[in-house]
Amino acid sequence: MPELPEVEVVRAGLAPAVAGARVRGVEAHDPRALTRHVGAPADFEARLTGREIAGTARRGKFLWMPLSDDPARGPEAVMVHLGMSGQMLLRAPGAPAERHERVRVWIEHPDHGELAVVFADQRTFGSLAIDELVPTPDGNPGGFGDAAPLVPRQAAHIARDPLDPAFDDALFRRRLSGKASAVKRVLLDQTVVSGVGNIYADEALWASRIHPETLGRDLSTRAANRLLAEVRAVLAKALAEGGTSFDAQYVNVNGQAGYFAHSLNAYGRRGKPCPRCGTTIVRERFTNRSSHVCPRCQRRPMRVET
């Protein structure tokens, strides 16, 4: 599933093409791509056609494109959730349909002319929706890329991500210290910190020498600070390398894959030597996922979550 770096690469790629563009037409080929939209596909098409796209914003794994105001409805945005295999692609107006294409939006930009924004999704877990924008509780921008203190209602429960300038380090430490659950579970809890999935959780825990089963409340302030710093470092490095691609499902808006997979130290490296100490990386069961751990660098705690 795309995580923060992958979604940010998509957001940054869309921004110059859609900011200031007007929607000239919409065609929803598959209603499964609009499961988060309150209304029929025809409603989505009608409400989006003619609107101007103000830009792009992201919080964690959620991406949205604010729209020009509809006097009858108030602030709204097209919210994009990529699910496991969703892609947002920029194409020439007459380009043939993409494989697994679900929605196509024709736009006209004052500088770039006509373009097509295509939402393709092989597994159909992703979705588009026109959603109401609501004020952020802290008055800070709703997400990265947009200064407006607004966030889609469907994403309002999602915590800020570690790369967000408004992320509250002290609040994260307090929430972590109050958790009697495994630290990896806390990192994957989008109501505590957003944008961190299985890959980057494993990488950050390896970098900070913390076992995934260590209880959140058992981490010292120093260890919590180290973990947060490594989460940010891993996300920033992955972002600089275009995200992590293990197959053809994650691509940027031009259809190109990221290459952070070549920089992974723990995730997906079972049976290979730890880059730090040479001990063989192991894969351990973790809920319905798995964790990749160095047994020497990341000592299993005496007390684990039950």
* Type of residue numbered 261: A
The residue from 272, 289, 299, 300 that is catalytic is: 289
Q: Note if 91 is an active site residue.
A: no
| 201 sits in which H/E element | helix 198-207
Q: Note if 289 is an active site residue.
A: yes
The Cα–Cα gap between 64 and 129 comes to: 9
The residue from 61, 91, 185, 269 that is catalytic is: 61
The residue from 3, 6, 45, 76 that is catalytic is: 3
The Cα–Cα gap between 24 and 50 comes to: 6
Residue 179 among known ligand-binding residues: yes
134 burial class (0-12, 13-18, 19+ CB within 10 angstroms)? middle
Nearest residue to 199 (alpha-carbon basis) of 260, 248, 133:
260
| 23 sits in which H/E element | strand 22-28
The residue from 2, 152, 162, 212 that is catalytic is: 2
Residue 157 among known ligand-binding residues: no
The Cα–Cα gap between 115 and 90 comes to: 7
Residue 283 among known ligand-binding residues: no
Binding residue numbers for DNA? 100, 123, 179
Catalytic residue IDs: 2-3, 61, 289
Binding residues, as ranges, are 100, 123, 179
